[in-house]
């Protein structure tokens, strides 16, 4: 029986399956463990089920001599040092596919909320400012018939594109599989929606040049990773009227402090990284994460592995 450390309680019954085979230590707090706490609990673990907010870097991996499997409760894995894990022969799992449609739903919800100023409208009513119907009150931008530029036409980007068809939108895209150049996409789009992983190439992908290339009526939507967008440049773009608005599910830093100057910028909608937060999607992610961890602990290939060549590497080399 192996010892597993789960860095946060996760929805659904999946952890019961893990506990039926192994000793399971679940971090009890609502917030993530502090670095010292993470190191102390992970150091005793054979298996680690981590959240995207946990920094699983080389130092942590080296401090965990018993560790044989890491399962990340996320599609992305930018919080895990894959090279360090691979060097130890530790497979790293992730949870693709099961949150694609849910995240695409939320990307479209953000797009509609920013375009039609839903958050502002709700606040207008709640503060008692709704006195009468006014023809010029809270005018927004049409989504139907607009041009949607998708940056990263993978699973989620493609799912957003399918939803755009129902609104009669014209879809253009850019990414590794082709499409139009990013600068052209920014200039042609009424909405720019980001769906790329965080890599050295995509960090700061949307900066001042890209934001200045966008139309003054355009809206930026980010459900990918916060550092894909330069936050200082975005603040300047919103205050300077380079773009009409932005809708973010992810930020840099994350979480975004209540005192952060970006929150004072006009035309901004921010959600607390909840694009995959439906009951069904989060429970399915848990099942996938546990499947990965159980396989890794058995020494079998993980069903969804970021570094499949790491499987068996430590045994093969030593």
Name which of 317, 303, 318, 316 is nearest 69 in CA terms: 303
Name which of 219, 120, 118, 117 is nearest 169 in CA terms: 219
Name which of 91, 85, 88 is nearest 318 in CA terms: 88
Catalytic residue among 94, 225, 288, 304: 225
**254 is an active site residue:** yes
Encode burial over 4-33: b for 16+ CB neighbours within 10 A, e otherwise. Answer: bbbbbebbeebbeebeeebebebbeeeebb
Phi, psi (5° rounding) for residue 197?
-70, 160
Q: Could you give the CA distance from residue 59 to residue 231 in angstroms, rounded to a whole number?
A: 29
**260 is an active site residue:** no
Answer yes or no: are the C-beta atoms of 156 and 104 closer than 8 Å: yes
Bridging pattern class, strands 178-179 and 170-175: antiparallel
What DSSP designation does 74 have? S
Q: Could you give the CA distance from residue 284 to residue 317 in angstroms, rounded to a whole number?
A: 35
Catalytic residue among 273, 282, 304, 311: 273
What's the sign of the alpha-carbon dihedral 232, 236, 239, 243?
negative
Q: Which residues pair with 218 in a beta bridge?
A: none
Catalytic residue among 21, 120, 254, 287: 254
Give the catalytic positions in this structure.
225, 254, 273
């Amino acid at each position: 029986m192996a010892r597993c450390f789960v860095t946060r309680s996760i929805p659904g019954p999946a952890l019961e399956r893990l506990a039926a085979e192994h000793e399971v230590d679940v971090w009890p707090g609502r917030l993530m463990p502090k670095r010292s706490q993470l190191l102390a609990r992970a150091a005793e673990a054979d298996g680690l089920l981590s959240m995207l907010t946990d920094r699983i870097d080389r130092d942590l991996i080296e401090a965990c001599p018993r560790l044989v499997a890491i399962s990340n409760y996320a599609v992305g894995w930018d919080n895990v040092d894959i090279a360090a894990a691979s060097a130890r022969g530790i497979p790293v799992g992730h949870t693709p596919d099961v949150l694609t449609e849910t995240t695409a739903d939320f990307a479209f919800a953000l797009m509609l909320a920013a375009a039609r100023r839903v958050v502002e409208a709700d606040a207008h009513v709640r503060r008692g400012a709704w006195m009468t119907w006014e023809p010029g009150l809270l005018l927004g931008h049409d989504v139907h018939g607009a041009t949607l530029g998708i940056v990263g036409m993978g699973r989620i980007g493609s799912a957003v594109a399918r939803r755009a068809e129902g609104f009669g939108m014209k879809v253009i895209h850019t990414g590794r599989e082709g499409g139009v150049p990013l600068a052209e996409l920014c200039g042609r789009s009424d909405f720019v929606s980001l769906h790329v992983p965080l890599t050295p190439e995509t960090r700061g992908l949307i900066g001042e040049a890209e934001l200045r290339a966008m139309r003054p009526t355009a809206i930026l939507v980010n459900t990918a990773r916060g550092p894909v967008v330069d936050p200082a440049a975005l603040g300047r773009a919103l205050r300077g009227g380079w773009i009409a608005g932005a809708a973010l599910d992810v930020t840099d830093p994350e979480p975004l402090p209540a005192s952060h100057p970006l929150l004072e910028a006009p035309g901004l909608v921010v959600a607390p990284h909840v694009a995959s937060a439906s009951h069904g999607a989060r429970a399915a992610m848990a099942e996938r994460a546990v499947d990965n961890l159980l396989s890794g602990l058995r020494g079998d290939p993980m069903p969804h592995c970021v570094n499949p060549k790491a499987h068996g590497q430590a045994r093969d080399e030593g």
